[in-house]
Structures are given as structure tokens and as C-alpha cells.
């Protein structure tokens, strides 16, 4: 057992820290620290800055921009990015469709899509969930029927995060209704400007429009935009959802927010109960960070460490608890969340952030699904 990082990993960590804190647009970092919603342009500028430095898609295969880093280095990259309030590369591009295309796409699809995906020249949306197929994803009903050189797509997707910015959407569609529900699914890439695609915003409890419904009405999609084999969509979806062992617990971000919260607290930090609340959260977060390190230190080229399923479950719980602490620190000032308010910006964003983060224990496989995974696959129940 060894506490310190190797000299190489320590140097790597410092290199990351230096880049994120000195070579990255300060105004974007300030926006993240203040809890402001980023504009599309800021997301794009952020990712393009990272991509130019080779830091947007380091986990991709090397021929498509990957860096061949170890799991521990990827962990350090993510943590330093979050600690420096640098927005992480757009998950739909960097963590979802990119690795999928690199693994399952034809050479033609790779060449056409991977470079602009890494550079966020194309903004991808995710078309998985449907009104009756959330955690039970295989129940999806959006259909794609072959017609000549095209598929014709009909149906509805929902919870399409930032779909209003989307250029393309990677979509799970039912291509064979007559087999076991997992067996008849395919993945199609759909240009969102195609006639028949309609994006409708969903207003959320925090007052924002972060998610959307996407409707498909007789949308014609060229058949060469099928990813992998016909009816192999379930395999691809499992790869997409399962290949993310690093960065599932937003430890770096939560740590930064908790540290900032000490500044927000001001004189409230003299209250022993407030102090105790900070200590409990800090300790849980420390335990989580160490668990993440155990997982990445262990999983080099091997099966995932069983404790990896703890990360999403506990990571989102702590993230939510920290947002709750910040809201409580704001107290009555948190009511002043309107545009004309003069209270500090963090206090104005406290309640919307608290409400928005309720999603964290629902998305990406709800925390109940995570408990089921632990119970079944780890504990054998």
C-alpha cells in the first residue's frame, strides 16, 4: 500500500492543475463558480480550448485523439478540471457517442463524425429515454422501419438534456417489434434539422429549460447512419452506459462547492451545528474520494472494482446534500432568486441549484437501480 502518487502522476497532476487554472478562459470559470447556467457558446469555447490542448477526449482510442492515460490519470484529469471550475467536456460527445462510434462505427462514420464530435463542432443529444421507458430502457417504442435506402422514424423521446442546442441526436429505435424487447433495438444517428424532428422544451422546477421532448414524425434517416449491426442497439447501449468507470461521482465539483460554502457561511461557521454539518459532509466526501481512488488504482486493465457501484449512489447523495447546505446557508436571501435582486449571486442560485440537483439521483440509472445492482451483483441477493 502506498499513500503518495508516483512522481510521474504527481507531475501529471500539477501539469493539469496549471493548465486548468492559468490557460483556460477565466470568465467561463467564474460563471461556473457563480453557479450560472453556461451559454452554448461558452460550452463550445470551453471544449474547443480543451481539445486544442489534447484534453477534451483523452480516454478515446489514440488514433482519434486519445492519450493512452491510465485510469488514475483520467481520474486526476477529471478531478483537477472540476476543482478548477472548468466545465467537463460535453458528456454526450465525449463520454457517450464518441466512444461508441470508435468501438462500433464503420470507418466512414468514424472519419465523418469523430473529429467534429471531439471539437464540439457537432453538438450531440441523447435520444434514449421515452415516456414509458426510463430506467426500463428496453421498453422503448420509437420505431424505425426500413424503406429503400432510408429508415423512417416515428415516436417520442424525452428528458433530452440540452436538446435545444443539439445538431445531431444518437437514438435508440425499435427495428424489430417481434422479438424479445432487448433484441429488436438499433442505434441511429439523426440530423436534428431533418423534416419531422421537433424539439419541445420542458419547463422544470428550477425555472430552467434544461431538458426537452423530441418528437419524430416520418423522419427519413439514411440507412448508412445506423451504428453497428441492425438490432445490436442494446449491446451498444450497455457499452455506452457501462464503460464509464471514472468520473461518475462528481467529487471534484462537490469538493469545490463545499469549500466555497465555507466562504458563503461567514459568521455562520461559528455555530457548532453548522460546523458539524460541514464535518459530516467533508468526511463522507473524503471517504468517497478515497473509494474512487481505490477503484481507479485497482481497475487497471481488470474487471471494475465492486465498490465502483458505490460511487454514483453516494456521489449524487453527497452532491445533493451539499446543495441543501448551501441553500440553508443562504436562508431568507435564497428567496431573492429573481433577476433584479441585489443579494449575492451564490444565494440567488442556491435554490434553483438545489432543486435542479434532485435530478442527480434519478438520471444515469436511478439510485434505486444502483441499490439493485449492489444487492444483486455484489451481494448476490
Partner 1 sequence: MDFTYDDEQVALRDAVRGLVGKAYADFEQRRRTVADDPGFSEKVWAQLAEMGLLGLPFAEEDGGVGAGPVEIGIVAQELGRVLAPEPYLTSVVLAGGLVSAAGTPEQRAEVLGALSAGERVLAFAHDEEGSRWSSAATAVTATRDGDTWTLSGVKEPVPHGARADLLVVSAALPDGGTGLFLVDPAGAERTGYRTYDGGRAARVVLESTPATPLGAPGQDLESTIATVQDIGRIMAGHEALGAMEVALAATTSYLTSRKQFGVTLNTFQALTFRAADMYVSLELAASLVQWATMVLATGDAARTADAAARAALQVSRASRHVGQEAIQLHGGIAMTAEYSVGSFAAHLSALDHLLGDGQFQLSTLAARVADHRALDPLETSVG
Active site positions, annotated: 244
- Chosen residue from 157, 174, 256, 349 binding partner 1 by CB under 8 A: 256
Binding mask 350-369 for partner 1 (x = CB under 8 A): ------------------x-
Burial-class residue 300 by CB neighbours within 10 Å (0-12, 13-18, 19+): exposed
CA pair distance 199, 44, nearest whole angstrom: 21
107 near partner 1, judged by CB under 8 A: no
23 near partner 1, judged by CB under 8 A: no
Q: Return the DSSP state at 338.
A: S
CA angle 240, 138, 161 (to 5 degrees): 55
Contact 168, 189 (CB under 8 A): yes
196-255 positions binding partner 1, by CB under 8 A: 255
Q: For residue 46, how many other CB atoms are within 10 A of its CB?
A: 24
Binding mask 308-327 for partner 1 (x = CB under 8 A): --x--xx-------------
- Chosen residue from 45, 71, 130, 289 binding partner 1 by CB under 8 A: 289
291 near partner 1, judged by CB under 8 A: yes
Residue 142's closest CA among 184, 180, 104? 184
CA pair distance 221, 228, nearest whole angstrom: 15
CA pair distance 227, 144, nearest whole angstrom: 13
371 near partner 1, judged by CB under 8 A: yes
Binding mask 265-284 for partner 1 (x = CB under 8 A): ----x--x--xx-xxx-xxx
How is residue 63 written as a grid cell? Answer: 488514433
16 near partner 1, judged by CB under 8 A: no
The stretches of 178-298 forming alpha helices (DSSP H) are 233-242, 251-265, 272-298
126 near partner 1, judged by CB under 8 A: no
Specify the residue, 83 or 114, whose C-beta has the smaller distance to partner 1: 83
Specify the residue, 73 or 119, whose C-beta has the smaller distance to partner 1: 73
Residues at the site binding partner 1, with contacts judged by CB under 8 A: 1-6, 9, 13, 72, 255-256, 258-259, 262, 269, 272, 275-276, 278-280, 282-291, 293-294, 297-298, 307, 310, 313-314, 368, 370-372, 374-376, 378-381
Amino acid at each position: 500500500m502506498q499513500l503518495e502518487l508516483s512522481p510521474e502522476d504527481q507531475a501529471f497532476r500539477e501539469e493539469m492543475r496549471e493548465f486548468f487554472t492559468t490557460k483556460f478562459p477565466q470568465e467561463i470559470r467564474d460563471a461556473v463558480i457563480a453557479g450560472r447556467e453556461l451559454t452554448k457558446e461558452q460550452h463550445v469555447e470551453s471544449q474547443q480550448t480543451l481539445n486544442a490542448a489534447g484534453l477534451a477526449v483523452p480516454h478515446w482510442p489514440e488514433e482519434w485523439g486519445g492519450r493512452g492515460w491510465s485510469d488514475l490519470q483520467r481520474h486526476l484529469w477529471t478531478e483537477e478540471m472540476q476543482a478548477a471550475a472548468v466545465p467537463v467536456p460535453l458528456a454526450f460527445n465525449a463520454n457517450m457517442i464518441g466512444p461508441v462510434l470508435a468501438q462500433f462505427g464503420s470507418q466512414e462514420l468514424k472519419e465523418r463524425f469523430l473529429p467534429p464530435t471531439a471539437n464540439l463542432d457537432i453538438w450531440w443529444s441523447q435520444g434514449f429515454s421515452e415516456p414509458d421507458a426510463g430506467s426500463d430502457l428496453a421498453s422503448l417504442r420509437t420505431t424505425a422501419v426500413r424503406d429503400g435506402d432510408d429508415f423512417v422514424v416515428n415516436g417520442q423521446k424525452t428528458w433530452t438534456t440540452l436538446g435545444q442546442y443539439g445538431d445531431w441526436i444518437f437514438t435508440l429505435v425499435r427495428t424489430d417489434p417481434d422479438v424479445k424487447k432487448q433484441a429488436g433495438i438499433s442505434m441511429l444517428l439523426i440530423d436534428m434539422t431533418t423534416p419531422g424532428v421537433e424539439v419541445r422544451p420542458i419547463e422544470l422546477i428550477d425555472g430552467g429549460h434544461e431538458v426537452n421532448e423530441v418528437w419524430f414524425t416520418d423522419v427519413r434517416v439514411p440507412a448508412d447512419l445506423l451504428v453497428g449491426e441492425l438490432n445490436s442497439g442494446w449491446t451498444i447501449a450497455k457499452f455506452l452506459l457501462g464503460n464509464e468507470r471514472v468520473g461518475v461521482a462528481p467529487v471534484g465539483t462537490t469538493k469545490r462547492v463545499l469549500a466555497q460554502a465555507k466562504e458563503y457561511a461567514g459568521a455562520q461557521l461559528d455555530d457548532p451545528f453548522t460546523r458539524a454539518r460541514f464535518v459530516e459532509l467533508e468526511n463522507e466526501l473524503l471517504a468517497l474520494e478515497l473509494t474512487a481512488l481505490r477503484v481507479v488504482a485497482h481497475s487497471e486493465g481488470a474487471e471494475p472494482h465492486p465498490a465502483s457501484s458505490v460511487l454514483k449512489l453516494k456521489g449524487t447523495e453527497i452532491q445533493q446534500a451539499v446543495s441543501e447546505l448551501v441553500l440553508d446557508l443562504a436562508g431568507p436571501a435564497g428567496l431573492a432568486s429573481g433577476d433584479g435582486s441585489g443579494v449575492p449571486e451564490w444565494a440567488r442560485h442556491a435554490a434553483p441549484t438545489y432543486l435542479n440537483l434532485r435530478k442527480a439521483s434519478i438520471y444515469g440509472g436511478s439510485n434505486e437501480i444502483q441499490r439493485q445492482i449492489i444487492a444483486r451483483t455484489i451481494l448476490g441477493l
